[in-house]
Structure 1
Amino acid sequence: MEEEEALPNMWFLSSDDDNDEGDKEEDRQSRRQRRSKCWEGCGRPVATCICPLLPPSPIPTSTHVVVLHHPQELRTNKIATLPALCRCLERCSLLCGRRLHPGASPLLDSLSAFPSPSSPVLFLFPTIGPSESAIDLKRWVSHTPYASRAEPVLIVFDATWRYAREMVAASLPYLERFALQVQIGDGCDAGIQGASTFESDVVLRKEPWKGCLSTIEAVARALRVLEPEERGPEIEERLLAVLRAMVAFQAVHLTPVKPRTKLKKKGKVVRE
């Protein structure tokens, strides 16, 4: 009788254990779903997929965009714009590395050895310090006959700003042989803080200085200038529409933070 009376209690405990296991499995499935990504599309988490906003087919351009991205960028930057950019453009080549050098790109090696009269090579990186020099892209276009820039090659560097500067410096011995450094407008102003997501609909994360742009925005602004007048603004807007969608998703999960007072070194002025 004692054993028979114990059975209901044993069954009750077993039932609770099963329920706990079921709850744990549901939690695990929920976490897996949140972590799952749209690998065949935009590369973003499924919950923030922007595939419906991407062009149904890659956008054709006369400009060939070559992106050198830092090996850590796509692994550590969860809001990288590069996957979306590659899905948007028909002529976009992706290189992984810390510098450009002979052998890194057959296209660049070919243009280095045999320059094309209609395919100038430009690398996009803004002037930051007084020792750096870059030409305003719009000015360069206005002073260059169309026949001499009909199919340009645009090189961009995808990384954090610190790494990007290192990548450019390491690539200069190779690029200086055949490429021209250009920038959007006046470049960056290291004396003025950059915008944040709360101040612009095209800023995904706080930029270090005024004039800093994400990879997809920099390419969009450049293509507006490089592409023929009837196509440039349209291509720019299609790329920026994708970026705005990414910023909107990101802004939902951010909370405005009150800026902290920045303290200078001893004897210096305290600024907000």
Structure 2
Amino acid sequence: MDLDFPLSSASDDDAGDTPTPPGRAICHAGCGRPSRVCLCPHMPHTPLHTSTTVVVLHHPHALHRNPLSTLPLLARCLANLHLLPGRRLRPSSTQLIPPPSPNPVLLLFPSPAASDLTSWCRSTPPSVRSNPILLLLDGTWKQAKEMHAASLPFISSFAIPVSLPVDSGVDGDSMFESELVVKKEPHKGCLSTMEAVARALRLLEPEGSGAQIEEPMIRVLRAMVAFQSDHLQHRTMKPRVKLRKKKDIKREQEMKRNA
């Protein structure tokens, strides 16, 4: 069942901070993270204002079941951000992007039909691409693909598919190989939602202001990855129990009986 709700501006409730164990000190007044990994010193003093409206359709499980989700931080970094929980976009989901929209609606997703965002910006006159709406899908890669397929019947008639460069033939980096990767990525060039928004805003914001938006967002993400990497380096990992397939167990039992 879809869990679509009316679109509203991002707030602390929208961000849905990841549940933490009882007794752990939390930075409730700021980033919402455990106090020992507080990111407030790295956050913008006030939410960043953009001419681009960012809309994120996020899977209902994206926040509560993913402690590494960058959405809570993204919600605190951008003023013109809207979070929409659900598994697909449809006409009743939002009033922000009713077709036809007077502003370009860009669907940032690495699909075969997507154009390179840099090329689109270069080939589109500033007057035509002013005040764009940037639409993203947030979830696991499997969830995002399902959300993309489910949303296409509605958005394909008006959304412009764009993407940032992704090399599907090369494995992605891990946080130990890049200071911006939150977890192991499936392909080279795959980005977290927060980094994808930062890179896109660098290109979309007018008069060269994109770099001033991108830099503080990347600074927050870099600090988050540093905390997580340091935690894993000092963590004692227990060996995982190797799961055996039922057919292998059955074969062993038959061999014992035959012996």
Which residue number corresponds to residue 23 of structure 1? none
| Equivalent of 2:230 in 234, 249, 252 | 252
2:67 maps to 1:78: yes
Structure with more relative contact order (C-alpha pairs < 8 Å, separation 6 or more): 2
Check 1:184–1:67 CA distance in 2 against 1; reply closer, same or farther (3 A cut). Answer: same
Deviation at residue 51 of structure 1 after TM alignment = 1.6
Deviation at residue 40 of structure 1 after TM alignment = 4.1
Deviation at residue 236 of structure 1 after TM alignment = 0.8
Which residue number corresponds to residue 101 of structure 2? 115
Which residue number corresponds to residue 194 of structure 1? 172
Check 1:37–1:99 CA distance in 2 against 1; reply closer, same or farther (3 A cut). Answer: farther
Which residue number corresponds to residue 151 of structure 2? 171
Q: Which runs of 5+ in 2 are unaligned?
A: 1-20, 238-259
| Equivalent of 2:188 in 197, 210, 213 | 210
Q: Which has the higher helix share?
A: 1
Paired residue secondary structure (2:57): strand
Paired residue secondary structure (1:246): helix
Q: Within 5 Å, give how 1:46-61 maps onto structure 2.
A: 46-61=35-50
The range that moved more, 214-223 or 53-62, is 53-62
Q: 2 CA distance for matches of 1:184 and 1:200?
A: 17
Q: 2 CA distance for matches of 1:71 and 1:39?
A: 22
Which residue number corresponds to residue 52 of structure 2? 63
Q: 1 CA distance for matches of 2:26 and 2:155?
A: 36
Q: 2 CA distance for matches of 1:229 and 1:70?
A: 34
Q: 1 CA distance for matches of 2:91 and 2:134?
A: 17
Which residue number corresponds to residue 219 of structure 1? 197
With normalisation by structure 1, the TM-score equals 0.76
Paired residue secondary structure (1:74): coil
Counterpart code for 1:98: R
Counterpart code for 1:51: C
Q: 1 CA distance for matches of 2:32 and 2:148?
A: 26
Deviation at residue 39 of structure 1 after TM alignment = 3.9
The range that moved more, 39-48 or 191-200, is 39-48
Identity, in percent, stands at 52
Check 1:62–1:123 CA distance in 2 against 1; reply closer, same or farther (3 A cut). Answer: same
Check 1:39–1:123 CA distance in 2 against 1; reply closer, same or farther (3 A cut). Answer: farther
How many residues of Structure 1 are paired with residues of Structure 2 in the alignment?
A: 215
Which residue number corresponds to residue 33 of structure 1? 23
Q: Which runs of 5+ in 1 are unaligned?
A: 1-30, 258-272
| Equivalent of 2:32 in 20, 43, 56 | 43
- Could you list the structure 1 runs, at least 4 aligned residues long, displaced by more than 6 angstroms after superposition: none
Paired residue secondary structure (1:38): coil
Check 1:152–1:48 CA distance in 2 against 1; reply closer, same or farther (3 A cut). Answer: same
| Equivalent of 1:102 in 88, 91, 95 | 91
Q: 1 CA distance for matches of 2:33 and 2:57?
A: 20
Deviation at residue 33 of structure 1 after TM alignment = 3.3
Deviation at residue 46 of structure 1 after TM alignment = 2.3
2:105 maps to 1:125: no
Residues 203-240 of structure 1 deviation map (CA, whole Å, 9 limit, x = unaligned): 01111111110000000000000012421111111110
Q: Within 5 Å, give how 1:227-238 maps onto structure 2.
A: 227-238=205-216
Residues 24-70 of structure 1 deviation map (CA, whole Å, 9 limit, x = unaligned): xxxxxxx6333x43344323222211122111111110100001111
Which residue number corresponds to residue 22 of structure 1? none
Q: 2 CA distance for matches of 1:210 and 1:33?
A: 39
